[in-house]
Structure 1
Amino acid sequence: MGGSQSTRKLSVDNDNAISVSQEALDRIQAQLNAKQAEQPPPQPQYTPPSYFESQKRQQENASEEAYWARRIENLKRAHEKINSGMHLEYQKTLKEANELFDLAKADKIAGKLPPCQEEKTKVLECYSTNPDKSLLCSVLVNEFNDCVCKSRVAAVSATS
């Protein structure tokens, strides 16, 4: 009930249709053409001469070129400032590093020999004379250990 579509078809015959002859169509077309010929063509809107447009475009291009040239110069100056700052920092760091190396080199020359060489020699002699009895050298090893500890404390206090 109302859910299905109707399959009926309706056709209308128009007995009152107007038929126009080809001659009538030609006359109507001729009249339309004559009216169009009588009408003046539409006035074009003002278009500036082409040389004006090219001058305007050249001015725009020149202003853009000037803008980008200023921008590039500003960037160059900014990069030069950064580079000069980095160069100064590099030179400063290089100078500090050279001073540190010079101090370390002078310290090695001043120290010449490692500390506790006498005690080390005694311990080595004791081990070589008593290869199977290393406990006999324990007193000398303790003396060497004390000497090393004292020299470490002295080195730390000297740098502070």
Structure 2
Amino acid sequence: MGASQSTRKLSVDNENAVQLSPEALNRIQAQLTANQQQEQSTPPPQPPTQYSPPQYAPPPVYYDSQKRQDAAAEEAYWARRIENLKRAHEKINSGMQLEYEKTLKDANKLFDMVQADKIVNKLPPCQEEKAKVLECYSANPNKSLLCSVIVNQFNDCVCKSRIAAVSASS
């Protein structure tokens, strides 16, 4: 029951069979005939004492040149792509730099305006009226009532300045 070997053959129709080019078929046939001739001319092989990896024929020259051409084309494609991306990023960076400089310039203008406004506002109000009151008191040391009109003008100026400051802050 299991002593004799079976000699059945099985054939399968494969619609998705691999198709080879005529060059590949010629190479395979040439290699098969070379192997058959080599087997016929050489004595039967002795069992190897050490494992030796199988020897393969190098690919044909046109295969290597095609691979080199494909690699060179791919390298050129990616080099162009990288250069295009670099140029695009340089445009974006230059635009951002211009916007940054414009914004910085505008901010500095605003800052300078605020600083100038602070300097103007740092001076106490009614300096002219104050100078007139001091001059009047110096000219009339014992007659301060003669300066009452000038003092009232100074007082009115101070009140107006306070009102303006309160209305400006709200």
TM-score (norm 2): 0.43
Bigger Rg, structure 1 or 2: 1
TM-score (norm 1): 0.46
